[in-house]
Amino acid sequence: MPNQRGFVGLQQVDSTMAMVCPQCNQAFEQRLNCPQCGVRLLYQFTRRADKLALVGPDATWQQTPWGRICVGLLLAQGVYYVLRHLFTAGLLAASSEATGVWATLSGLVLVQVLQAVGVLLAGMLSGAGQRRGILLGTLVGIWNGVFFVVVQACVGQTSTPIDLFGEPMLQAAFGAVGGFIGSQIWKPLPSVSLPFEMRGAKAITPPVKRRSYFAGPIAWTRVLTGIALTVGGVMWANIIRDLVIEASEGKLSIDSQLQADLVTFEVSALAMIAGSGFAGANTFNGLKQGLCVGLGSGAVLFGLRLGTGNFSPEILILTLVTAIGFGVAGGWFGGELFPPLLAAGERKRRRPAYV
């Protein structure tokens, strides 16, 4: 029939689309809502039509994974340079001697923050509506870090081995976070199986109630251990840095005090993430455990800074903010990377029923 068959290229494709209920998986014709469940029906091609159909003219290269990575890379670079020029204009408007601020420690930290903002937004764009949003965001971050390293080499800036390996890894982490956020805000379309596509028994698992990140008890043993790891790593950051440089046998080197301070800050950040990640691992509320580690380690470091007498309000505020921020991020990451095993009773309750 002309109104039921269509041709795409040289292959014949069934152009009739079934209306399927996402809950009961029943197919209906000429309906908008399911008469049994009352939910909105979804369009779904048959498996045969999906196999025979070719890519339509509306599909563009931007929808492919590599296209998303390229667009995300352009967005990350554009956001970074726009923000950098904006900050430069503001600094020049405030003071004519602010051109050398990018060579200071604060300037280097600001550069990392601007790059992180660009990669985060690019990761969100790449992972929007994708089931593998974290992977796409990670690839965007890696290529963006490699691009920055290549640009620095082209303009004649010297890069240490720490810059060569640390830049892509750091931006890959922010890209992964952006990809996860994008895939959670703009969720991919659900995959619906049609009744006539089923082969044999299908497992029906009851819906799992989403847990709150702040629900549940606090694992005090893990939290105290995480605080000890965080405080120890921060206080011994200089020693850890020197040990790594000595163990490299000359392959790693630090040329200025600015680089030494930056590496010390990175070691401290890794210690905070590792301590809070340990506290959040194997728990359902890793973000809550990480928050407790951040608050506890921030209070301890705050007291140690006050005890030394060599401090300033800016350093105290930065210590608290970084401890809480990295603590929350590390706790959430630890809980997601090492999720807890289900208890025997809960595993029995979630056993799928076969129909």
Q: pLDDT at residue 329 above 80?
A: yes
114-131 tens-digit pLDDT: 888 888 998 888 888 887
Instruction: Give the rounded percent of residues in the chain with a pLDDT score beyond 90.
Output: 11
pLDDT band per the 50, 70, 90 thresholds, residue 290:
very high
Q: pLDDT tens digit string along 130-183?
A: 878 888 888 888 888 888 878 777 777 666 666 667 778 888 888 888 888 888
CA 94 to chain centre: 35
**By the 8 A CB rule, do 144 and 122 touch?**
yes
Instruction: Give the per-residue pLDDT at 227.
Output: 94
Q: Is the pLDDT of residue 213 over 80?
A: no
Residue ranges of E strands in the chain: 5-8, 11-14, 18-20, 27-28, 42-44, 203-204, 353-354
292 pLDDT more than 90? yes
Q: How distant, in Å, are the alpha carbons of 160, 207, 246, 329 from that of 260?
A: 12, 51, 14, 25
Give the whole-angstrom CA distance, residue 87 versus residue 113: 12
Of 199, 180, 94, 98, give the one whose Cα is nearest residue 141.
180
What the block records as the tokens of 225 is: 């251990």
Report the alpha-carbon distance of residue 267 to residue 202 in Å, rounded. Answer: 50
Tell me the sheet residues that pair with 40.
33
Rounded to whole angstroms, the Cα distance separating 286 from 290 reads 6
Distance CA 246, CA 236 (A): 15
Overall average pLDDT of the 46-62 stretch? 45
Mean pLDDT of 3-17: 40
pLDDT of res. 160: 65
| Position with higher pLDDT, 6 vs 329 | 329
pLDDT at 351 over 90: no
Element (H, E) at 42: strand 42-44
**What is residue 13's predicted lDDT score, i.e. its pLDDT?**
36
**What is the reported pTM?**
0.47
Q: What is the predicted pLDDT for the residue at 85?
A: 83
| pLDDT value of residue 225 | 94
Whether pLDDT at 223 is above 90: yes
Distance CA 116, CA 177 (A): 10
Inform me whether the pLDDT recorded for 296 exceeds 90: yes
How far apart (Å, rounded) are the C-alpha atoms in residues 51 and 187?
24
Give pLDDT, residue 96. 62
Region 249-260 average pLDDT? 79
Q: Is the pLDDT of residue 310 over 70?
A: no
- What is each CA distance from 278 to 169, 226, 336, in whole angstroms? 20, 6, 12
Lowest mean pLDDT among 18-27, 45-54, 194-203, 296-305: 45-54
Query: What is the length of the chain?
Result: 355
Where residue 275 falls among pLDDT bands split at 50, 70, 90?
Answer: very high
Specify the amino acid at residue 152.
Answer: Q
pLDDT digits (tens, 9 = 90+) for 65-98: 788 888 888 888 888 888 888 888 777 777 766 6
- What is the pLDDT at residue 316? 78
Centroid of chain to Cα 113: 15
> Can you give the C-alpha Rg of the chain in angstroms?
26
